[in-house]
Structure 1
Amino acid sequence: MRDGYAAWSGQTIQPSALGSPSVPLWYETAAVGQRLASVLDQAALQDEQTQQTLAFLHGHWQQAMAWHPTAGEVGGTGSLLDRLCRQLKLSADERLLLILAGMAEEHEGFVASFVGLHPRGEPFPTVGLFARLACQGLDRGEAWRLLTQSALLRLGLVRVVGEGAWPERSLRLADGVWAALQGLINWPVPPLQVLTRLDDGWLRQSDVCYLTDRLQSRQALMVALQGEPLASHIRLAQWLAGLGPRAVCFEVAGQPEGVVDQLLQLCLIHDRIPVWVGNPGPSRLLGHFPWPMLCAEADPAWLASLPMPVLPVAAPRPSRALLAALWQESLPELAEQAPELAARFPLEPRRLWRVQGDARALAGLTPLDAGTAYTALKTRLARGGDSQMRRVTPRAGWDDLILPEPATQALHNAVARLRLQSQVLDDWGFDRGDTSRRGLRLLFCGLPGTGKTLAAEVMALALHAELLVIDLSRTVSKWIGETEKNLAAIFDEAEATRGVLFFDEADALFAKRTDVHDANDRFANIETAYLLTRLERFDGIAILATNLRQHIDKAFLRRFEFVIDFPEPGADERAAIWRRHVPAQAPLADGVDFELLALRYPMSGAMIRNALLGAAYEAAATDGPISQSGLERAIALEFEKTGRLCP
């Protein structure tokens, strides 16, 4: 025996402060220690270390009896250990194996005992020590059978570690098992807070009721919730509320190896139903888990590889009424705005819970209103690091946009259409399962500088969204399939962030399809066909800008809800644009006549902006005001840049 044990021989045992679940553990470890002492008492030769060990083990048992004199037979019916043994149908020897493997985590005195008894001085019991405690005589066959076939080892609760001869290997508990048996819940990843008590009747459907009963059983199976991500998350939140506190949900995609196994072990001990979001990572125990599990967003290939029965259930798409009710559940203060918020930002309970937390925190600075919710949404909507788009925070409003009345009215109608989609498609029944009816697709046609980009920015501000300007030079690729891949990422990001997608100078992407003369023509037509399909399925706002309408394929034109022409501004519009671009604090010389400039010079809005800015810099350089002559010189430069004669 090794030295260092005497320091523990006189320690007093105190009952655990964790409550009744831990009492059987410390009592049973003392009982197993007394059983070990009985074995050591039979040794013919006992050195000083052995005598110290025996003194501790006997004294420890006497103190345990003093603290728990009515315990009688070891074991009971109320502890987590008792429940685990019943549910896994563990024998008395398997219970002994579990307690022996965990004794080093219960008391430091057992650590010193095992160090002295272990051939390599490790602070753990050995396989041979278990065999001596569990078996009578020299036949250890039953101990070897348990150590190779027991559910404790199959489920990883107890492990045989080390090298060398089998009897000299160590017995160890998996991380967190002993603390869990004492009633502590220390999940390696935090459970998801995703439940909602809103019920639209889905939980009462016969197939869902049947699967709910199966989830409460003790049979190994996997219930797979399948559908679109939004639908799966919402139905999962409803199901978790229906299953109650036994169900515990984890996002496991991308978790390191071993995490899923530890979660399964803790679910076993605490009698929980594990619920997975995403594909669990590598797991040795998943196929051996003896109880039901529930998963959502699982890969079909992963489901097909599972050894247990897999029971699929469809996650139907939530109605707009349910989406609005989720918003109202999270932020009751915005009940009136809930339908509009749900139409623009259909979110699952988990993200809504985060948005409402952000909104309430912001409400300490501003009132809790729809604007606060929109501000909170900007940080909670998914964002990718896509270099093919430029994110613009819109600032221009309707007053900044000067267009002919037909174009302005068409833009207002487009915004109203998006806000009224829930009423028309859902309440009035025009949806009929046609996904192409959702979202909004607009085509802006006009020469450069006529206000197409500004109009897109105004719409984004009106819809409380970012403007996602696509960089076509990075989108179109010479490599086969890369353009489609880039476009798919762009559309996915726009749908996730609910941003306004803006393709400027889209002729290159949305031009007419051509006759096939070579491979380049064939692949260009494939890209165009993909765009037609993806644009039709897009559940957001897509704006395409082109200089020449005749360059756009007619198949695209049929898919736009709005085709808006942006003509060059007339004299009245030009005068209004001149005045709009002059800041209130800018110094203007007497005699500046914007009406005269508008009548004399046929310019686009972009040319007017550039000319006014050039005149401002000239005035600042001479420390004078912006004059009529300075404006005319700047106008002449703008015409020269465009290659046009200045009137």
Structure 2
Amino acid sequence: MHDGLASWSVNTIKPTVLGPVSPPIWYEAAQLAGRLAEVLQQGPLQDEQSQQAIAFLTAHWQRAKASQPTPARQPLDTLCHRLKLGTQERMLLVLAGMADEHEGFVATFAGLHPRNEPFPTVGLLARLAFDSVDRSECWRLLTQSPLIKLGLVRLSGDGAWPEHSLHLAERVWPVLYGLDCWPQDMAPQVAATRVADSWLQHPDVRYALSRLGSQQALAVSLQGEPQAMRVRLAQLLGELGQRAACFDISSMSESLLETLLLHCLLRDRIPVLIGTPTGNSPLARFPAPLLLAETEPVLLASLPLPVLPLPAPRPSRQLLAALWQEAMPELGEQAIALAARFPLEPRRLFRVQDDARAIAGLTPLRDTTAYQALKTRLARGSDTQVRRLVPHADWPDLVLPPAAMNALHDAVARLALQAQVMDDWGFERGDANRRGLRLLFCGLPGTGKTLAAEVIAHALHAELMVIDLSRIVSKWIGETEKNLAAVFEEAETTRGVLFFDEADALFAKRTDVHDANDRFANIETAYLLTRLERFDGIAILATNLRQHIDKAFLRRFEFVIDFPEPGAEERAAIWQRHVPAQAPIAAEVDFEVLALRYPMSGAMIRNALLSAAYYAAARQDDITCDALERAIALEFEKTGRLCP
């Protein structure tokens, strides 16, 4: 038997100048089948089933030998070199995978197995690989080999150890053929970019890349803000190219993570892992470099590997715009505005690109198409705490005094220019709280605060996220803050416009503490103060009672805009704006006269015009002055004011 093993190893592996080469894995399996036929022939008893197995194994080996494949560098050679595997370990790996090679091997192993399982046993390995009564070397192999420790070869079954089955991890055998066959739901993510900036030339980055190309077991940990890490990770993937494979392992089980790492090892790929799994033992056993991102600090602290931290600075405006231009070059300069509003990492950008091209079809790709695709791809949570509105109102629908109108335009322009001022001109100075946009709208009911919020959302191509106070405020301690945190995070992720109507209910002044209710109310206000300040998005607060807003909030608003009741000129324009082109307005109606006679807010005008339309429709008549005056009187009555 010893001579047979020596013959198997010599004929299998042939060293060359470029390293060891060998025939394909199917040839090694056939060669081992021939060796198995020899072992079975030496057995004391041969029943009909054994004779059939010997005949199949011998014939299979003869057919393979006649083909004479050309030796070449095989995936198994790379694996053996990486793990420093010996001849017996190589035989163990081939034997454990033979059931995946041919149904004849399945029948042979089932006939030899004491429980009729279609796998080779530990006892069969000992007979093939070790010519000795003393099987200590076999036991040492099955307890200390990297194949066993890493889970490439697995033992299963109960009872005596020689009766345990040997088999490979999931889909390992096709990889040994050279096929790019990943386990189900484990395909690598496409997240690389070739867009570069000076960060890639930083000495720390070059050193980290060199360590990732080494053979040492270590972990390079990207550290920074999530969005910055994703962009920098895409740049590293672009540098590593085909040497790396990227996966999201958030909440992945240990068994799945072990299988994933094994497949990276088989392909000689660097695992790039995003998130934190449920267990870290597979990471601790991995014998090669790892690249980690968005990993919980507690996992890094417990990882028994050298950890090399790599800072991931926030990407510049130019880099984000270049990423958009890489994904959709047709957008040209429009990519700069898109990058300022939606600083997406390449992985999500690729999905937006695919969606936008599918929407555009044969028509040219435009920024409006990209905005439409973004609405689908930006993550959305539950709608239980906010009411989402697709804005339709535009600037011509808004009638305000020049001062308020100019302030609203300045607010939208400020957001568009924020990256230039903060990044290019250096006004951020390391203070992330300077980003975002916070506005306070003050004015009586019906003066256009909600409409102005909708106009801003429309100008920014964003959803208007109206806060539902009934679902935000909770009687349970800490629940209100938790609900608010979820809403702020959702707005930051989706880049929606967060709108707090009747904001004085949440942002009220802090009071002296007389009981527990006062203390917890002050805690809520303090939380809102800090969260609003670091909010990296657009938040609009509307109130009828400016004096009730805590003064500490006012410092945190970039714009405080007053919405006065409209004058006669504004009221006439509002009347005209609310009249549809197809509405049957009587010739006698003069909206300028109505504007002069009745001091009404915009909401009152809208309601009165709608009521007058219903009066006219009931009579199957035009909308007359009588119908309008009747509706106007009703509006004044509702507000408790005397009708002029």
Q: TM-score interval w.r.t. the shorter chain?
A: over 0.9
Please state if 1:400 is matched with 2:401.
no
- Secondary structure of the 2:614 match is helix
Amino acid at match of 2:606: R
Contact 1:28 1:99 in 2 (8 A): yes
What do the CA deviations read for 1:532-580 (whole angstroms, capped 9, x no partner)?
A: 1111111111111010211112111111111111111111111111111
- Equivalent residue in structure 1 for 2:143, among 137, 148, 151: 148
Greater CA drift, 231-240 or 110-119: 110-119
1:212-611 equivalent positions in 2, closer than 5 A = 212-256=209-253, 258-282=255-279, 285-364=282-361, 366-611=363-608
Deviation at 1:21, TM superposition (A): 9.6
- Secondary structure of the 1:347 match is coil
Please state if 1:93 is matched with 2:88.
yes
- The residue number in structure 2 matching 1:29 is 29
Amino acid at match of 1:312: P
- The residue number in structure 2 matching 1:54 is 54
What is the CA–CA distance in structure 2 between the aligned matches of 1:47 and 1:609, rounded to whole Å?
A: 97
- Secondary structure of the 1:461 match is helix
Contact 1:333 1:368 in 2 (8 A): yes
What is the CA–CA distance in structure 2 between the aligned matches of 1:280 and 1:186, rounded to whole Å?
A: 23
Deviation at 1:491, TM superposition (A): 1.0
Amino acid at match of 2:35: R
- The residue number in structure 2 matching 1:176 is 171
Greater CA drift, 183-192 or 165-174: 183-192
- The residue number in structure 2 matching 1:9 is none
Greater CA drift, 306-315 or 43-52: 43-52
Deviation at 1:584, TM superposition (A): 0.6
Deviation at 1:43, TM superposition (A): 2.1
Moved over 6 A (4+): none
What is the CA–CA distance in structure 2 between the aligned matches of 1:115 and 1:424, rounded to whole Å?
A: 73
Greater CA drift, 414-423 or 386-395: 414-423
Amino acid at match of 1:293: L
Deviation at 1:283, TM superposition (A): 6.0
- Secondary structure of the 2:196 match is coil
What is the CA–CA distance in structure 2 between the aligned matches of 1:215 and 1:376, rounded to whole Å?
A: 36
Check 1:21–1:409 CA distance in 2 against 1; reply closer, same or farther (3 A cut): farther
- Secondary structure of the 1:290 match is coil
- Secondary structure of the 1:258 match is helix
What do the CA deviations read for 1:320-366 (whole angstroms, capped 9, x no partner)?
A: 12111111221222221222211111111111111122222222265
- The residue number in structure 1 matching 2:155 is 160
Check 1:45–1:423 CA distance in 2 against 1; reply closer, same or farther (3 A cut): closer
What is the CA–CA distance in structure 2 between the aligned matches of 1:383 and 1:59, rounded to whole Å?
A: 61
What do the CA deviations read for 1:570-619 (whole angstroms, capped 9, x no partner)?
A: 11111111111110101112211212221221111111111111111111
Contact 1:77 1:83 in 2 (8 A): no
Contact 1:104 1:124 in 2 (8 A): yes
- The residue number in structure 2 matching 1:7 is none
- Equivalent residue in structure 1 for 2:76, among 55, 78, 81: 81
What is the CA–CA distance in structure 2 between the aligned matches of 1:411 and 1:286, rounded to whole Å?
A: 52
Deviation at 1:441, TM superposition (A): 1.1
- The residue number in structure 2 matching 1:15 is none
- Stretches of structure 1 that go unaligned for 5 or more consecutive residues are 1-19
Please state if 1:185 is matched with 2:180.
yes
Deviation at 1:386, TM superposition (A): 3.7
Greater CA drift, 248-257 or 156-165: 248-257
Contact 1:131 1:143 in 2 (8 A): yes
Amino acid at match of 2:83: L
Contact 2:219 2:307 in 1 (8 A): yes
Check 1:500–1:520 CA distance in 2 against 1; reply closer, same or farther (3 A cut): same
Contact 1:21 1:182 in 2 (8 A): no
- Secondary structure of the 2:514 match is coil
Greater CA drift, 238-247 or 591-600: 591-600
What is the CA–CA distance in structure 2 between the aligned matches of 1:110 and 1:214, rounded to whole Å?
A: 43
What do the CA deviations read for 1:116-144 (whole angstroms, capped 9, x no partner)?
A: 11111111111111111122131111111
- Equivalent residue in structure 1 for 2:124, among 129, 149, 166: 129
Amino acid at match of 2:66: A
Contact 1:258 1:282 in 2 (8 A): no
- Secondary structure of the 2:539 match is strand
Contact 1:260 1:281 in 2 (8 A): no
What is the CA–CA distance in structure 1 between the aligned matches of 2:114 and 2:199, rounded to whole Å?
A: 61
Amino acid at match of 2:130: C
- Secondary structure of the 1:220 match is coil
What is the CA–CA distance in structure 2 between the aligned matches of 1:570 and 1:116, rounded to whole Å?
A: 97
Deviation at 1:45, TM superposition (A): 2.6
Greater CA drift, 425-434 or 217-226: 425-434
- The residue number in structure 1 matching 2:8 is none
What do the CA deviations read for 1:389-414 (whole angstroms, capped 9, x no partner)?
A: 11111100111111111111111111
Check 1:311–1:459 CA distance in 2 against 1; reply closer, same or farther (3 A cut): same
What is the CA–CA distance in structure 2 between the aligned matches of 1:533 and 1:439, rounded to whole Å?
A: 13
Deviation at 1:187, TM superposition (A): 2.0
Deviation at 1:266, TM superposition (A): 0.9
- The residue number in structure 2 matching 1:5 is none
- Equivalent residue in structure 2 for 1:118, among 85, 89, 113: 113
- Secondary structure of the 1:510 match is coil
- Secondary structure of the 1:285 match is helix
- Stretches of structure 2 that go unaligned for 5 or more consecutive residues are 1-19
Amino acid at match of 1:155: L
- Secondary structure of the 1:543 match is strand
- Secondary structure of the 2:499 match is strand
Contact 1:324 1:338 in 2 (8 A): yes
Contact 1:21 1:183 in 2 (8 A): no
What is the CA–CA distance in structure 1 between the aligned matches of 2:21 and 2:246, rounded to whole Å?
A: 24
Deviation at 1:210, TM superposition (A): 1.3
Greater CA drift, 615-624 or 37-46: 37-46
Amino acid at match of 2:268: D
Greater CA drift, 20-29 or 568-577: 20-29
What is the CA–CA distance in structure 1 between the aligned matches of 2:142 and 2:411, rounded to whole Å?
A: 71
Greater CA drift, 57-66 or 504-513: 57-66
Amino acid at match of 1:159: R
What is the CA–CA distance in structure 2 between the aligned matches of 1:269 and 1:246, rounded to whole Å?
A: 12
Amino acid at match of 2:38: S
Amino acid at match of 2:46: Q
Contact 1:22 1:181 in 2 (8 A): no
- The residue number in structure 2 matching 1:202 is 199
Deviation at 1:255, TM superposition (A): 3.5
Identity of aligned residues (%): 71
